[in-house]
Amino acid sequence: MKRRQFLQAAAAAAAGFHIVPRRVLGGANFVPPSERIAMGFIGLGGQGTGHLLGGAWTYVPGGYIARDDVQVLAVCDVRKERREPVHQRCNQIYADKFGQANYSGVQAYNDFREVLARPDIDAVLLALPYHWAGMMATLAMRAGKDVYCEKPICITVREGRNLVETSRRFGRIYQAGMQQRSEYAGKFRQACDLVRNGRIGRLQEVYAYRSPGAFFPIPWTSDASLPVPDGFDWDLWLGPLPWRPYAGGAGHALEGCFIGDVNWSPHHYDIVRWTVNPADDETFEAWPENGVVHYRFANGVVIHSTGYPGENVGPDGGACFVGSEGRIAVDRSNIVSYPASILQEPLHPGDARVYHSTSHSGNFLDCIRTRRPTIGNPQTAVDSMTLILVGGISLALGRKVQWDPARGEFPGDDQANRLLSYTPRPPWRL
């Protein structure tokens, strides 16, 4: 190359040179876009917005949008008054973070199907009315998305089984919003490890503090109706439920569709089942008595949907475990044992340990990258919800029921088996 040609080529190269920000290339304290998990958030009430923007119970300052390893691409809600402020807030956060005054990389949607159709979204976080949780999570996994879903996970047993099958068939990562397994300084994990390793002797009874529940709709006979608020897609909010006119309310659950508790009880019964640790095919029975639902497993452990007499620890998301040599009570604020020496002696090197996670949202993101099961994986979550729903069915029927998990039914009990599923309103058929 002659000298003149060299100088011309060098000048052309210099003219095309640009300074690339470190946030684009990665490096110390920066995650390049190719390594960020692209997420959509569906359901922007208190729970969903708390996850997205940060809340007292979401355990991550600033929420998912503050994480450098996450890129929020979409927000979705059937209520315009929720959707638009969150949409504006997200774009403003990124505008400030990236120094782009007109940033518009976060899009807003009314219909969740438009979010699921985007090939650039890796995962979705669902914080929905009860009746949408299981169905939308299943549709999201069919669309190739990994899913974080808030309780109640599913509202019927068959819906839960379909959720598990779908996650396996499509190879999707799923995290149930049962955060007590990861958060609260490991108190629940500690109680679970101690009971499983025999520190209270043979486990005999468990007090779960909350009633179970089930989907048990009462036929709608009222003629009451109100104008649907502007910007509220009432038909899409109802989704698979039978049609009824708008009559106000419409929070997490539609009036007259549930018996017992499917909202707060998942936190309690998930810890109970984690600790009792029954075999996958272990049968159990449930029966109501004076407003309290009792369970008995084949191994003899009995669960009561009430508190342990005189014990203050347990009501806040916890349980009390009673064994032949002592008891442990745990909730979000405290863990106590009787005798006190049970908690004073640490676990031994040879003791078995349950799944260890110190961040529920972090565990979800880590498992998206590694493709290993989350601490709240579909089978775990659905097993806990099945315990709740079977107890709720016994409550609805007002009598004892027998549950066979291997067959997924109440043997010889047609009346109870009819409550294992319902017929969704078209076009919401799985």
pLDDT per residue over 369-381, tens digit each? 999 999 999 999 9
pLDDT tens per residue, range 265-314: 999 999 999 999 999 899 999 999 999 999 999 999 999 999 999 999 99
Query: If you search the block for the tokens 């998912």, which residue do you land on?
Result: 64
Nearest Cα neighbor of 343 from 367, 357, 326 is: 326
Q: Which CATH superfamily is domain 185-215+261-355+378-415 in?
A: Dihydrodipicolinate Reductase; domain 2 (3.30.360.10)
**Does position 20 have pLDDT exceeding 50, yes or no?**
no
pLDDT band for position 218 (cuts 50, 70, 90): confident
- What's the length of the chain? 430
For the full predicted model, state whether its pTM sits above 0.85.
yes
pLDDT of 30 higher than 90: no
- As a whole number of Å, the end-to-end CA separation of the chain is 68
Amino acid 429: pLDDT = 86
Mean pLDDT of 363-371: 98
pLDDT of residue 32: 76
pLDDT at 110: 98
Range of lowest pLDDT (10-19, 207-216, 398-407): 10-19
On the question of pLDDT at 259 being above 50, the answer is yes
Q: Residue 399 phi/psi, 5° resolution? A: -160, 175
What is the distance between the alpha carbons of residues 428 and 418, in angstroms, rounded to a whole number? 19
How confident is the model over 250-278, as a mean pLDDT? 94
Environment class of 393 (CB within 10 Å of its CB; exposed 0-12, middle 13-18, buried 19+)? buried
Mean pLDDT of 170-196: 97
| CA–CA gap between residue 404 and residue 285 (Å, rounded) | 9
What local confidence, expressed as pLDDT, does residue 56 receive? Answer: 72
pLDDT for the residue numbered 117: 98
Cis status, amide bond into 339, omega within 30 of 0: yes
- Find the angle CA(92)-CA(95)-CA(97) to the nearest 5 degrees: 110
Name residues whose C-beta falls within 8 Å of residue 200's C-beta, 6 or more positions apart in sequence: 194, 321, 322, 323, 324, 325, 326, 327, 328, 337, 342
Please, what CATH class does the domain formed by 22-180 belong to?
alpha beta
CA distance 33 to 341: 51
In this structure, are residues 110 and 83 in contact, taking their beta carbons and an 8 Å threshold? Answer: yes
Average per-residue pLDDT for the chain: 93
What pLDDT does residue 35 have?
A: 87
Q: What is the pLDDT of residue 2?
A: 65
How far is C-alpha 106 from the geometric centre of its chain's CA atoms?
23
Tell me how far apart the alpha carbons of residues 88 and 53 are, in angstroms, rounded to a whole number.
Answer: 12
Residue 19's pLDDT band (cuts 50, 70, 90):
very low
Distance CA 395, CA 272 (A): 19
Rounded mean pLDDT, 140-167: 98
The DSSP secondary structure of 356-398, one letter per residue, reads: --S-HHHHHHHHHHH-PPPTT-HHHHHHHHHHHHHHHHHHHHT
Identify the residue with better confidence: 269 or 32.
269
Angstrom distance (rounded) from CA 41 to CA 125: 5
Range 90-113 average pLDDT: 97
* Rounded average pLDDT over 23-40: 72
DSSP 278: -
Residue found under tokens 């009314």: 110
Instruction: Break the chain into its structural domains and give their ranges.
Output: 22-180, 185-215+261-355+378-415
Comparing CA positions, the residue from 125, 143, 117 lying closest to residue 43 is 125
With cut-offs at 50, 70 and 90, classify the pLDDT of residue 17. very low
> What does the pLDDT read at residue 248?
86
CA-to-CA dists, residue 396 to 273, 293, 409, angstroms = 22, 11, 16
User: CB–CB of 390/216 below 8 Å?
Assistant: no
Q: Percent of the chain at pLDDT above 70? A: 93
- CA distance linking residue 268 with residue 397, whole number of Å: 23
Q: What is the mean pLDDT of residues 86-114?
A: 97
For position 70, what pLDDT does the model report? Answer: 98
- What is the per-residue pLDDT for 11? 59
